[in-house]
Amino acid sequence: MNAFTLQGKRALVTGANTGIGRAIAIGLAEAGAHVVAAGRSSCDETVATIEAAGGTGEALYMDLADGTHGVAALQEAGDIDILVNNAGIIRREDSVDFAEKDWDEVMDVNLKAVFMLSQAFAKSVFARSATGRIVNIASLLSFQGGIRVPSYTASKHGVVGLTKILTNEWAAKGINVNAVAPGYIATNNTKALREDPKRAAEILGRIPAGRWGDPADIAGAVTFLCMPASTYIHGAVLNVDGGWLAR
């Protein structure tokens, strides 16, 4: 058996329309998986890229701000072997002025939806007497406090906690639950930081690798955690940060 292939597997990736999610979807397809690219925005370009490279995929509309809709969309996708909880949002404001609405919106997408989709996925896997993989996308702010992003920081700390509790309950039942914590990656979410000369220099100066990460760097780590080669990895949080946390 080839321990480094996803041939014959079906994977669902949330937030697959752009950035890290798009790269993950493409990476899983390159490894042989049929990818369901899910998002609130169109994932047609992601699917087109997958198919142009000889892979297979499909787009699925999924609004994770509505937990009920997210679960229904997951069920609509059919039998899934791999779930990547990548979708996330962020709101920035001083904590003393942070609005309850912004708190709730971030927590609903970044944490509640992760649990609800994982729960629905596990029910499906158990009902089929199958095995499965869940990879949650955490963050450097799963370990650090950050500034002016209280709900994001709380949600990403929560993602790591969920990864651990679901591992405790599901590892012996055939589901591997792990997380990947991206560092500073060149995506739309970090555009403002990269265009701020002072902040960009401060960030780059702390990264031992000497560069911003590429979405493909995250895709490689996620793909590995979905492969047979990682079967005995449970409850891990893999930092893909260019060495940021080593400083």
Dump pLDDT digits (tens) for 75-108. Answer: 999 999 999 999 999 999 999 999 999 999 999 9
pTM, rounded to two decimals: 0.97
Dump pLDDT digits (tens) for 130-166. Answer: 999 999 999 999 999 999 999 999 999 999 999 999 9
Token look-up 């752009």 returns 18
Q: Does domain 10-240 have CATH number 1.25.40.10?
A: no
What are the structural domain ranges in the chain?
Answer: 10-240
Contacts of 13 by beta carbon, 8 Å cutoff, 6+ apart = 21, 24, 25, 28, 35, 36, 37, 38, 84, 86
Dump pLDDT digits (tens) for 23-68. Answer: 999 999 999 999 999 999 999 999 999 999 999 999 999 999 998 9
Average of per-residue pLDDT values in the chain? 97
Instruction: Give the H or E element holding residue 205.
Output: helix 197-206
Quick one: pLDDT at residue 7? 98
Catalytic residue among 61, 152, 184, 232: 152
The two counts, helices (H) then strands (E), for the chain are: 9, 7
Instruction: Compute the distance between CA of residue 194 and CA of residue 188 in angstroms, rounded to an integer.
Output: 10
Verify whether residue 152 is a known catalytic residue: yes
Q: The dihedral of CA 185, 67, 227, 81: what is its sign?
A: negative
Instruction: Give the H or E element holding residue 239.
Output: strand 237-240
Confidence of residue 173 (pLDDT cuts 50, 70, 90): very high
Instruction: Compute the distance between CA of residue 65 and CA of residue 234 in angstroms, rounded to an integer.
Output: 28
Instruction: Compute the distance between CA of residue 132 and CA of residue 122 in angstroms, rounded to an integer.
Output: 8
Quick one: pLDDT at residue 1? 77
Structure tokens at 99: 């609005």
Quick one: pLDDT at residue 188? 87
Is 205 a residue whose pLDDT tops 80? yes
Is 192 a residue whose pLDDT tops 90? no
Quick one: pLDDT at residue 226? 98
Quick one: pLDDT at residue 67? 84
Mean pLDDT of all residues in 8-23:
98
Instruction: Compute the distance between CA of residue 123 and CA of residue 117 in angstroms, rounded to an integer.
Output: 10
Contacts of 242 by beta carbon, 8 Å cutoff, 6+ apart = 183, 184, 207, 208, 209, 210, 211, 212, 213
| CB distance 89 to 137 below 8 Å | no
Structure tokens at 163: 């990864």
Instruction: Compute the distance between CA of residue 16 and CA of residue 222 in angstroms, rounded to an integer.
Output: 13
Is 221 a residue whose pLDDT tops 90? yes
